[in-house]
């Protein structure tokens, strides 16, 4: 367990470097199971979720070396098809081992996964897709076992545009020597990049970046190295942190093309922000216009930015609204910010109204999930006095050495155990 102690208010200033994206790193660890030889992943974030995913990988017989964000991973000795229950239950991303293991061994057993407590996140899209592809599924003692018994089908249509289900099925198709069409795919940047990496490894993929993919897989995939994308959610979070504290600075590398909805919103609300090819430049901004957001799958506004963007609503002059379309518990953090002084009206589990500007007051507060956790830290930087953010290990799941990065920007923050 960890907690963060923050002395506010702070005005963040300086340059901050963004790490590799959590969501891609976790999937690429699973993807390595399909490769005949070791692969080096560059720009690997040193975060808690990556550590947990590697523990699961290692428990199946895999080996790795992680040194200065370079991850050398070898799956040649992977032999177990049952995921370790303790680790896998705590990490929802463990579910993406299903596709590669099913492609390589024809079976896999896994516990129902965990993750952040932001609402029900059914795995029905995953299981339905693999049923369509010929898998037989059995449930026993909170474990699911998938076995390929029927001939592999040539077409699968996902129940919804799920990011992890799309990645799971894509990796499965990449590892079988058939041509399979996947319909209703998610098109997040991490999925596009995963497909490009798989293509370089030897599989054939048509329709990259669209909702329909046609994949011809191979049992002889091989790739020496791949570089993980910069984390667009972390990058946007630091832009928000500069604006929320009335600071100024640079965020790099900044994946401008992968944050179009966020970038457009910043301009609309009057944020003094400009973008170059690989960085965002944030200048001091005194006031913002109120605004409305509705979360959606890419290219819509990301649900992972819904929590931190509320802090810009808090300093805007007027009333803003949030419509969280994806998770029914993701607005719970607003009740905590209300204790710090946020003027918020909860309409229901998916809708809220925030009126600014707000003078935040320091207090002891909790981290409910990864994204609300980083929101609490930024709120602490905005508040007058000493804020304690509990359950800091949740923030470590997706943000590497967050206190060190913030200290370099002028924050008074320290980690307590």
192 and 304 fall within a common domain: no
Handedness of CA 194, 196, 200, 204 (dihedral sign): positive
Q: What does DSSP say about strands 273-275 and 225-227: parallel, antiparallel, or unpaired?
A: unpaired
Burial of 120 (0-12, 13-18, 19+ CB in 10 A): exposed
Distance of alpha carbon 137 from alpha carbon 123, whole angstroms = 13
Domain boundary pick from 173, 200, 227: 227
- Whether 275 and 266 have beta carbons less than 8 Å apart is answered as no
**Cβ atoms < 10 Å from Cβ of 210:** 10
Nearest to 321 by CA among 285, 290, 298: 290
Domain boundary pick from 201, 227, 253: 227
Q: pLDDT tens track of the chain, all 417 residues? A: 789 999 999 999 999 999 999 999 999 999 999 998 999 999 999 999 999 999 999 999 999 999 999 999 999 999 999 997 777 888 888 999 999 999 999 999 998 764 444 444 478 999 999 999 999 999 888 889 999 876 667 999 999 999 999 999 999 999 999 999 999 999 999 999 999 999 999 999 999 999 999 999 999 999 999 999 999 999 999 999 999 999 999 999 999 999 999 999 999 999 999 999 899 999 999 899 999 999 999 999 999 999 999 999 999 999 999 999 988 889 999 999 999 999 999 999 999 999 999 999 999 999 999 999 999 999 999 999 999 999 999 999 999 999 999 999 999 999 998
* φ, ψ of residue 358 in degrees (nearest 5): -120, 140
Distance of alpha carbon 391 from alpha carbon 370, whole angstroms = 10
Which two tokens mark 34? Answer: 């399909």
pLDDT the model gives residue 117:
44
Nearest to 354 by CA among 261, 290, 306, 300: 290
Distance of alpha carbon 261 from alpha carbon 299, whole angstroms = 7
50 and 9 fall within a common domain: no
- Whether 166 and 185 have beta carbons less than 8 Å apart is answered as yes
Q: Tell me the pTM.
A: 0.94
29 and 11 fall within a common domain: no
Tally of domains within the chain = 2
* φ, ψ of residue 309 in degrees (nearest 5): -65, -20
Residue with tokens 């359950």: 391
Domain boundary pick from 199, 227, 255: 227
Which two tokens mark 164? Answer: 């992890």
Give me the helix-helix angle, 163-174 and 98-105, nearest 10°.
20
240 and 362 fall within a common domain: yes
Residue 382 Ramachandran class (φ > 0 left, ψ -120 to 50 alpha, else beta): alpha
- Whether 88 and 143 have beta carbons less than 8 Å apart is answered as no
DSSP 297-312: STTSB-GGGHHHHHHH
334 and 409 fall within a common domain: yes
305 and 177 fall within a common domain: no
Nearest to 107 by CA among 67, 78, 80, 126: 80
294 and 377 fall within a common domain: yes
96 and 151 fall within a common domain: yes
Distance of alpha carbon 30 from alpha carbon 342, whole angstroms = 41
320 and 188 fall within a common domain: no
The question of whether 173 is a catalytic residue gets the answer no
- Using DSSP's 3-state secondary structure scheme, residue 68 falls into coil
Instruction: Select which of 116, 173, 185, 195 is catalytic.
Output: 116
236 and 355 fall within a common domain: yes
| Domain range enclosing 324 | 3-19+231-416
**Upstream peptide bond of 299 is cis (omega within 30 degrees of 0):** yes
Which residues, in sequence order, are CB contacts of 322 under 8 Å at separation 6+?
A: 292, 293, 306, 310, 313, 331, 351, 352, 353, 354
Nearest to 77 by CA among 59, 50, 103: 59
199 and 98 fall within a common domain: yes
The CATH number that applies at residue 274 is: 3.65.10.10
**Cβ atoms < 10 Å from Cβ of 66:** 15
186 and 288 fall within a common domain: no
């Amino acid at each position: 367990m960890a907690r963060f102690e923050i002395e506010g208010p702070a005005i963040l200033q300086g340059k901050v470097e963004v790490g590799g994206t959590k969501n891609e790193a976790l999937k690429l660890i699973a993807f390595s199971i399909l490769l005949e030889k070791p692969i080096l992943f560059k720009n690997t974030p040193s975060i808690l979720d990556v550590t947990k995913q590697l523990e699961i990988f290692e428990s199946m017989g895999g080996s790795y070396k992680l040194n200065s964000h370079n991850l050398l991973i070898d799956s040649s000795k992977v032999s177990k098809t049952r995921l370790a229950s303790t680790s896998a239950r705590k990490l929802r991303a463990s579910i993406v081992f299903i596709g590669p293991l099913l492609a390589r061994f024809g079976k896999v057993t896994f516990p129902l996964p965990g993750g952040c407590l932001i609402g029900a996140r059914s795995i029905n899209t995953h299981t339905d897709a693999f049923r369509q592809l010929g898998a037989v599924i059995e449930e026993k003692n909170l474990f699911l076992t998938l076995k390929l018994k029927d001939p592999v089908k040539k077409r699968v249509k996902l129940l919804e545009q799920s990011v992890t289900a799309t990645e799971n099925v894509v990796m499965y198709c990449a590892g079988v020597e058939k041509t399979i069409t996947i319909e209703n795919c998610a098109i997040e940047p991490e999925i596009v990049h995963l497909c490009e990496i798989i293509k370089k490894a030897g599989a054939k993929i048509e329709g990259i970046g669209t909702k329909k993919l046609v994949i011809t897989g191979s049992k002889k995939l091989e790739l020496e190295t791949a570089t993980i994308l910069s984390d667009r959610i972390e990058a946007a979070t630091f832009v928000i942190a500069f604006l929320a504290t009335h600071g100024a600075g640079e965020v790099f590398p900044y994946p401008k093309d992968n944050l179009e909805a966020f970038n457009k919103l910043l301009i609309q609300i009057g944020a003094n922000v400009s973008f170059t090819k690989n960085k965002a430049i944030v200048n001091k901004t005194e006031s913002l216009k109120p605004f409305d957001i509705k979360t959606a799958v890419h290219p819509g506004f990301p649900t992972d930015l819904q929590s931190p963007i509320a802090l810009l609503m808090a300093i805007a002059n007027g009333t803003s609204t949030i419509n969280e379309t994806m998770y029914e518990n993701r607005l719970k953090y607003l009740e905590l910010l209300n204790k710090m002084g946020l003027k918020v009206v909860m309409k229901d589990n998916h809708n809220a109204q925030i009126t600014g500007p707000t003078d935040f007051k320091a207090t002891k507060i909790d981290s409910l999930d990864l994204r609300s956790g980083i929101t609490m830290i930024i709120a602490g930087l905005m508040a007058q006095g000493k804020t304690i953010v509990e359950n800091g290990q949740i923030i470590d799941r997706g943000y590497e050495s967050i206190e060190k990065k913030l200290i370099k920007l002028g924050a008074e923050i320290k980690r307590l155990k």
